[in-house]
């Protein structure tokens, strides 16, 4: 979080760039129209609400506020990425390196610096949360509601940006790894004893 803050605080002085001026015009009354139109450069109705909420909170004059929202979104993405990576990475150094690599990567830098390109960051929050929940569902600790909530979060991500359509193979891979890890832990406990084991137990000391 500190690395992200130090790196992106200067963007508060960037102001609006190119398409930022168009999206900043969206109001809370206009946002529902995105459900029946192709606003926000695609079918992204929830993204239109994002612009509208910023417009209501900051206004078009306070452009630093819009960039501040982008930084808060980045913090939320980093936290969700931390929860997801911690399912697979046991060493804290590897986890920290993965998070820092994400924060300083070029696609993320561009997405934070330009208001309109938060379309690449905001959908990651519900999508990563869905990944975590579907992993829990595939493991021993999983409940049915994990899968249901994961499906809802996937839909939210899809309504933020249609790129979520390509995520089903990732869900399949996550469930596979969760189930494989669960079976790997069970195997030593559930393996039936062999004939040799019975012979050793029955033989006199």
pLDDT for 106-133, tens place per residue?
Answer: 999 999 988 888 889 999 999 999 999 9
pLDDT above 60: residue 95: yes
pLDDT in tens, 136-171: 888 866 688 888 999 999 999 999 998 888 898 999
As a whole number of angstroms, the longest Cα–Cα distance in the chain is 89
**Cα 105 to Cα 122: distance, rounded to the nearest angstrom:** 16
Contact yes or no for 39/49 (Cβ under 8 A) = no
Domain limits, the chain: 1-12+20-119, 123-186
* Nearest partner of 69 among 38, 113, 26, judged by Cα: 113
Is residue 53 within a helix (H) or strand (E), and if so which, with residue range? Answer: helix 45-58
14 — phi, psi (to 5°)? -70, -40
Residue pointed to by tokens 């000391």:
205
The pTM score is 0.82
**Cα 50 to Cα 119: distance, rounded to the nearest angstrom:** 10
What integer pLDDT is reported at residue 149 of this predicted model? 94
């Amino acid at each position: 979080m500190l690395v992200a803050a130090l790196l992106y605080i200067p963007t508060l002085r960037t102001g609006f760039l190119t398409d930022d001026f168009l999206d900043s015009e969206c109001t809370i009354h206009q946002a529902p129209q995105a459900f029946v139109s192709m606003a926000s450069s695609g079918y992204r109705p929830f993204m239109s609400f994002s612009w509208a909420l910023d417009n209501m909170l900051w206004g078009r004059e306070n452009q630093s506020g819009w960039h501040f929202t982008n930084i808060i979104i980045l913090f939320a993405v980093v936290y969700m990425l931390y929860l997801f990576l911690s399912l697979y990475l046991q060493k804290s150094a590897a986890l920290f390196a993965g998070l820092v690599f994400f924060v300083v990567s070029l696609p993320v830098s561009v997405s934070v610096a330009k208001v309109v390109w938060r379309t690449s960051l905001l959908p990651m929050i519900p999508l990563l949360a869905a990944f975590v929940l579907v992993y829990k569902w595939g493991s021993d600790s999983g409940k049915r509601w994990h899968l249901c909530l994961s499906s809802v979060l996937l839909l939210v991500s899809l309504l933020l940006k249609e790129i979520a359509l390509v995520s089903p193979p990732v869900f399949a891979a996550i469930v596979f790894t969760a189930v494989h890890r669960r079976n790997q832990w069970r195997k030593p406990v559930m393996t039936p004893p062999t004939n040799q084991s019975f012979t050793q137990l029955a033989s006199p000391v």
